[in-house]
Structure 1
């Protein structure tokens, strides 16, 4: 009986103190995959961060890169980029952000795929010889934006990227002394 009375008194006291508080209860603070605190955005919508790691694909202010999921490979001709940013936003804000800021950077939209069951949207863009895919998901209080950039011809054909190692390439002569070392990526474009 004493335990029930103590529990009831504690609950009543907590309710009274919460109701009498003059400070608003803060919203849930989310955490990224690498346990960095994600702060709620101030004001409506998302804004591009001028210090984004990829100049022509700006990340939203307040979204944090997840280093374990960020990599860039380039050979001077092609670039393959996979980046993951996490922050706090709803899916509609992320979709509007991607459409607005990617188009402002010269990316032309190709298509959009929405999957309401998994709370995911994907927008595909093209600029020059590159394709950009922006996949946006909302899981609990964490918004994730996956950025993938790859060469257009590789994405369209579904073939692997060329081997960027150097290999001997025949120059038309049968003499082995006349062979040149050229990057494989260049020789595939013959």
Structure 2
């Protein structure tokens, strides 16, 4: 009789362990499904953001009636971003070339960036103004600094909000000079040139 009682106790413990293991598997499965779902949502969100960002810098030029074309210059100006010369210049060219576009607005919200990319956009604006004889106006939202200001000065007028940050052309570099320390140690400058 003692053997049966001991067997029932073991069976009860094994049953509890089995149920605990099943419960743990359910929890693990839930979290696996949850994290997979979050990963899929993040992927879809990234995809939507990427596709949406491709539209930045484009111009709606398909209107058949007279209109004002709008070209965006948003974000840091660099060769691989949405504000690159490769993206902004074709939008400007399309806006100027459209016979129904009476003027062009360059919407600017950029802290600047590459002076080369900015210079390319700047020069293209001057070329297009001369070629098409259409006015172009820069409308600043939050920021128009450094390279984006360089682009904006190529337009006929710049319109800003009184709280917009505008200006800051140039480069600043700080450093330290150890001229006296170098003299004390005996270091001198030597310059070798050819040609």
TM class by shorter chain equals under 0.3
How high is the TM-score relative to the length of structure 2? 0.27
Higher strand share: 1
| More helix by percentage | 2
Which is greater in Rg? 2
TM-score if structure 1 supplies the norm length?
0.28
